[in-house]
Structure 1
Amino acid sequence: MGYDNEAMRRFAGIERGDNRIPDETTILDFRHLLERHGLTKGIFADVKTHLADKGITLLSGTLVDATIIDAPSSTKNKAGARDPEKSSTKKGNDWFFGMKAHVSVDADSRVTHSLDTSTAKLHDSQVWDDLLHGEETSVWADKGYVSAERDAAFTEEGKVWGIMRKAPKGGQLHPVHAQINRVMAMMRAKIEHPFRVLKRQFAYVKTHYRGLAKNRAQFFTVFAFGNLFLVRPRLIA
């Protein structure tokens, strides 16, 4: 995500060959400063405040999901081992090695309002409470987040528990629940928008650093920029 990225160069207003481009040491020192003081989380929060000032509020429904970010599995390093803070997990019939970005997205604006990270093997449902802002009128997620306890706690009048229905163990999903899932799937599709920006616009398909802390710091910056990208038509209107 440096000045070799066309989108980032345009955002910063610099071009290749521009003598204003800082050298790699300066960029590295600046990144370490951001990481050491937790400033990227502040950038993420400031962007949300800016959007709220522009009338883009985050108080409607919340969509919750996680995406796997692959990490290099090479052992060609000084330690002769894979990154100890990353892990393997199976999705479908495929195995992945890396970490997860857990996000919650406003159902109306598609803006990411909360973010967390973990090693890849942590089950998505283990990261939940920190992803809700507490004023949701509806919550939407896939069946991996099914929880009778959470369902019971979200039964106030006017609230919607939009968690995909799960078939009983050894049984089949009831046709009514299958229809409900199809409706929920259309709503949940909105959460793919921030992930698409992360992986397509910003080409973030693999972790850039060893360990979780450095990548976590970068995620806050990338998702902050992603929020601005997603609502750019409303900001310049």
Structure 2
Amino acid sequence: MAHRSIGQERFDFAGRTRPASSLDELGKLINWAPVAALLDPLYSATKGEPAWPPLAMFKALLLSIWYDLSDVKLAEALDDRASFRRFCGFSANEATPERTAFVRFRRHLAANGLDRSLFDAVTTQLRSKAVAVKTGTLVDATIIASASEGDNDARWVKHKGKRAVHGFKAHVGADADTALVEELSITPANFNDGRAGPGALPDNPGEVFADSAYRGNHFRDAVRAKGGIPRIVATGMWGRDEQETLRKLHEWNQPIHRVRGRIEKIFGTWKRCYGLRRMRWRGLAKAAVQVHLTAIAYNLKRTMNILAAQA
């Protein structure tokens, strides 16, 4: 299936001075050609009307994350806002996708398992810009409620002192210095953190900071296998008396808590700003698409802020 040609008209908004937009800077942050190459095979059918360019659709989904927009609101905003059009590559007066086009595009992403490849392609470029020397990794997990209790891929989980949640769990590995997300694993919510944790470990992780849920040998061995050093919150230690034991436990745990706590800001941004309090669609594959898109959107904004601070 051929792709539509977009952006052929000159951008012209009645002679007005174009206001500066952070989206213009985000559009220049990476080389989008490798991303377009990954997306290009999505519409391979030879029949049917021309499809919307996959890269434009992918960028539109990033807008929906940054601005927490439904498909309906995204279609309206893309039709109306000049900065959205520029970011996606649409000129001033041409047609833009309707909401059903985003539904189909996400279905293609999930069916082809491209969300992970897109995350890797974007994150590799961003790491080269923001991460100077790898010193450590933060590992933790966050629970995200399912779109519906009828989602058969989701599971119930209950933590002490909190209400039960039906949903999924995102296991995240982030750079300890820049807080860029480097690895992701998405599972049903009842998956044990220590068992799923190795899926969130990047290569050469350095010191790995994690809470007591990761204290088993399975996770420690995975960290060491990748050349890392486990720094995991302890729940008990040997000592000659109670006071000495508590002192040793505090001296071990306090530095870990101080570093590990940075990952909570990532989860807070995802849920407060990017709408990841609840999954939008049913099924593990579509849940993975939503989490990977959220991580890509977060990493792009985070890298832009890091480079702005350095400048």
The TM-score with structure 1 as length reference comes to: 0.81
Matched, 1:227 2:295: no
Q: Which runs of 5+ in 2 are unaligned?
A: 1-63, 65-69, 87-92
Q: d(CA) in 2 for partners of 1:117 and 1:46?
A: 18
Asked if 1 retains the 8 angstrom alpha-carbon contact of 2:174 and 2:180, the reply is: yes
| Matched position secondary structure for 1:62 | strand
Say if 1:58 and 1:227 are closer, same or farther in 2 by CA, change over 3 A: farther
Matched, 1:162 2:231: yes
Counterpart among 72, 79, 84 of residue 13 in structure 1: 84
Asked if 2 retains the 8 angstrom alpha-carbon contact of 1:41 and 1:221, the reply is: no
| Number of the residue aligned with 1:77 | none
Shift, 1:175, TM fit: 2.7
Counterpart among 62, 72, 84 of residue 152 in structure 2: 84
Asked if 2 retains the 8 angstrom alpha-carbon contact of 1:58 and 1:113, the reply is: no
Q: d(CA) in 1 for partners of 2:181 and 2:166?
A: 24
Choose 1 or 2 for highest CA Rg. 2
| Number of the residue aligned with 2:265 | 193
Shift, 1:109, TM fit: 1.0
Q: d(CA) in 1 for partners of 2:283 and 2:138?
A: 27
Q: Which runs of 5+ in 1 are unaligned?
A: 75-81
Matched, 1:25 2:100: yes
Q: d(CA) in 1 for partners of 2:207 and 2:135?
A: 7
Say if 1:133 and 1:13 are closer, same or farther in 2 by CA, change over 3 A: same
| Matched position secondary structure for 1:13 | helix
Task: Give percent identity, aligned residues only.
Answer: 27
| Number of the residue aligned with 1:116 | 185
Say if 1:28 and 1:73 are closer, same or farther in 2 by CA, change over 3 A: closer
Q: Which structure shows the bigger proportion of residues in strand conformation? A: 1
Say if 1:32 and 1:11 are closer, same or farther in 2 by CA, change over 3 A: farther
Asked if 1 retains the 8 angstrom alpha-carbon contact of 2:279 and 2:290, the reply is: no
Shift, 1:46, TM fit: 1.5
Matched, 1:68 2:143: yes
Asked if 2 retains the 8 angstrom alpha-carbon contact of 1:104 and 1:114, the reply is: yes
Q: d(CA) in 2 for partners of 1:53 and 1:36?
A: 30
| Greater shift in the superposed pair: 198-207 or 30-39 | 30-39
